[in-house]
Amino acid sequence: MPGIPARARDRLAVVAIATSIATGFASTAAAAKRPPKPPSAQAAFTDLLNSFDASRWAKADGWTNGAPFDNAWSAGNIAFHDGLMELTLDDTARLGQPYTSGEYRSTGYYGYGCYEASFKPVAESGVVTTFFTFAGPFDNGGNGKHNEIDIEFLGQYLGGKPSYVQFNFWTNDDVYTSRNEYLQQLDFDAAAAFHVYAFRWAATGIDWYVDGQLVYSAADSPGDPTPKATDSLQKVMMNLWPVDSSATAWAGEFAYPGAPLRAQYQWVRYSTLDDCQIGSTPDDPPPPPPPPDGDASSMHLLGIAMSLASRDTQVIARASVVDGLGHPVVGASVTGTWSGVIGSGDGERATDGNGIAIFYSSRTRSHGNVEFCVTGMSLPGMSYDASANTESCDNITK
């Protein structure tokens, strides 16, 4: 395999940081500043990916990564239907990039344990389909450095029997110097059906599994250490993307086939080391409840999900609005207020296609409690029933 990194997230930011240090921009006073508070490790979960869960996940939207990615990210390229999550890669030009695609990322951070997903990748040269964990300068899981554990499908190695999957990891490696890529041969066509891909992350190393069978291991060593949860927790991520010309030797050359490409995910699960469930299938979801007896012309707040961003200097509040039948309300104007160590930020936002209004606070390095409260909402033809709110305020400690 050529030495092309499995991912080049935020390369420009890394170069800028390195340049600042080399030119003496990072002063002694800056170096002495208190580092951001590390995030807390999240608990085990199983998500059957039947719908968007804003309390755990976020859809990448409105930015690009730079080389070797040849796309922009859009929340509109993530859909849920027929009990699946679908990431779509299309030829919509956006933010200076020729293609648009989808990325699904957890809002919280996770540590040692077992990470599993059942999915079907895209068999198209130059396309990468993934399930991985990640933390870095802008997804700071603790030390602000690049840490990552990968399961990646490179389209040029799919579409027949055998197929290949690539495993990889990066440890405190902002300049992408390590070479830990490993291609594992599979005895099936990975793009033809769903299979379960997993890894077990511990302080002693990483084990990768396919359909419950151990297929590859990377042991921790002083010369080539594996990531440590004590250094940095990581986010859970899934994405689909085309490579640019800098990565064709690694993933193949991409030529848009004339129609959108879609990767499908059935479920994802994280369990702690003491409760790893690799090889078992999550229980089928319970039957859906009967339709609620409510008023489709009224709306209320289903809940608020709070998360930290921008190296824990900013808070994001996601307010979910539904009608009296429990359906998302699109285009509602939602107002809210901030209090605590951050007292300002977005005061009014509209709900998106999932019925979620996303509010961003102002930024501060101060530590303490931040509260966000919804104060009202409006939409022509609908009434706001505040008494039906499951909550009107939520808070988070930063």
Q: What is the pLDDT of residues 93-120, one digit of tens each?
A: 999 999 999 999 999 999 999 999 999 9
- Per-residue pLDDT at 139: 80
Q: Which two tokens stand for residue 8?
A: 């080049």
CATH 2.60.40.10 domain extents, the chain:
298-397
The candidate with the shortest Cα–Cα distance to 122, out of 89, 98, 92, 100, is 89
Out of 103, 148, 181, 371, which one is annotated catalytic? 148
Is domain 298-397 in CATH 2.60.40.10, yes or no? yes
What is the arithmetic mean of pLDDT over 201-223?
Answer: 97
Please state, as a whole number, how many other Cβ atoms lie within 10 Å of the Cβ of residue 59. Answer: 20
Q: Give dist(CA 198, CA 180) in Å, integer.
A: 17
Between 308 and 205, name the one with better pLDDT. Answer: 205
- Per-residue pLDDT at 326: 84
Amino acid type, 230: T
Chosen CATH of 40-275 out of 3.10.20.30, 3.20.20.80, 2.60.120.200, 2.70.98.70: 2.60.120.200
C-alpha separations of 138 from 9, 66, 154, 293, 324 in Å? 9, 14, 26, 44, 38
Q: What is the pLDDT of residues 253-292, one digit of tens each?
A: 999 999 999 999 999 999 999 999 898 988 765 555 555 5
The candidate with the shortest Cα–Cα distance to 41, out of 117, 136, 124, 141, is 141
Cβ 151 vs Cβ 131: under 8 Å = yes
The pLDDT > 70 percentage for the chain reads 88
Q: Which two tokens stand for residue 172?
A: 């405190």
Q: Give dist(CA 88, CA 68) in Å, integer.
A: 18
Examine the residue annotation and report whether 103 is marked as an active-site residue of this protein: no
CATH 2.60.120.200 domain extents, the chain:
40-275
Out of 103, 116, 124, 152, which one is annotated catalytic? 152
Q: What is the pLDDT of residues 289-343, one digit of tens each?
A: 555 567 889 999 999 988 888 778 899 999 999 998 888 999 999 999 999 999 9
